[in-house]
Amino acid sequence: MEYNHAQLAIAGESNVGLNRSHNEDNFLICTPPGGMAVLALIADGIGGHAQGEIASFICCREVFKAAMTTDSANWDEKFLLNALRKANERIFHRNFSELRERPMGSTVAAAVFHRDHFIIANAGDSRFYEYNHQAKTPLTQLSEDHRPIAKEGKHRRKSRETYNLISRSLGTQREVMIDLKTFPRSPESRFLLCSDGLYSGVPDSVFAGLLGSGQPVRTVTGKLMREALLSGSHDNISIICAGPPETEQ
């Protein structure tokens, strides 16, 4: 857990889960000493595609390289978008050079936290949540899942097969659409970034209960991981929790 001028406590954890033989998730937390911002990212290698763990690693590596060559005061929307586009380019070129029939790819949910605002970016189905106990709806998913929706007549339905597909990811195409949003940051808010291995088995009510418990973010991260494992999650699980500075316990 680290602190800097962004006034943020942050912790992360990743687990292979109960059914997979290896972990295709990677995550990144970047808190430069004395920096003005904190960077967090969850990357989930696409299941069923060859070497998804390499794609998620390249995503984290490229964003980290961009962070290390840019003053954290300048970690803005343009910085985050360009870093993710570079990651997409690197993964795509590796797929092309290796003539992969099934290209590797990665979803991404990323955030830059400044003291008074935060920026989020995502492609795929990794998620970003904000929890604020003062809000009418305390827990809000601020990212959007990018999944194709099957249609049957006039009624939409989500089949099991459709639910497990994603319509956007880094590396599978030359260009990728990335959702990018900026929000004001409330001093009371806590935040959660996660791969689908968490929310596929753990209900939002558990997220809200733990994020609103007042426990240190490191403790909340560990308890969310335990809930995911107890739920029998079939996927890799990655979690980052962040919130206001706290007294070590």
Given a cut of 50, whether residue 143 has pLDDT beyond it is yes
Residue 149 CA to residue 156 CA, distance in Å, equals 7
pLDDT tens sequence across 13-47: 999 999 888 899 999 999 998 899 999 999 999 86
The predicted structure's pLDDT at residue 159: 38
Length of the chain: 249
Output the average pLDDT for the chain: 90
Whether the Cβ atoms of residue 199 and residue 127 lie closer than 8 Å to each other: yes
153 vs 241: which has the higher pLDDT:
241
**E strand intervals along 98-218:** 106-113, 117-123, 127-131, 139-141, 150-152, 155-157, 179-184, 190-194
pLDDT tens sequence across 68-107: 999 999 999 999 999 999 999 999 999 988 887 788 999 9
Rounded mean pLDDT, 3-8: 84
Which CA distances in Å does 28 have to 68, 122, 147, 201? 13, 14, 24, 23
Sequence-separated (6 or more) residues with CB below 8 Å from residue 109: 41, 42, 120, 121, 122, 124, 126, 127, 128, 143, 193, 194
Rounded mean pLDDT, 156-179: 73
Sequence-separated (6 or more) residues with CB below 8 Å from residue 107: 43, 44, 46, 122, 123, 124, 125, 126, 166, 168, 169, 170, 195
pLDDT tens sequence across 172-213: 999 999 999 999 999 999 999 999 999 999 999 999 999 999
The predicted structure's pLDDT at residue 164: 55
The predicted structure's pLDDT at residue 100: 79
150 vs 218: which has the higher pLDDT:
218
pLDDT band at 49 (very low <50, low <70, confident <90, very high): low
144 vs 165: which has the higher pLDDT:
144
Residue 206 CA to residue 47 CA, distance in Å, equals 25
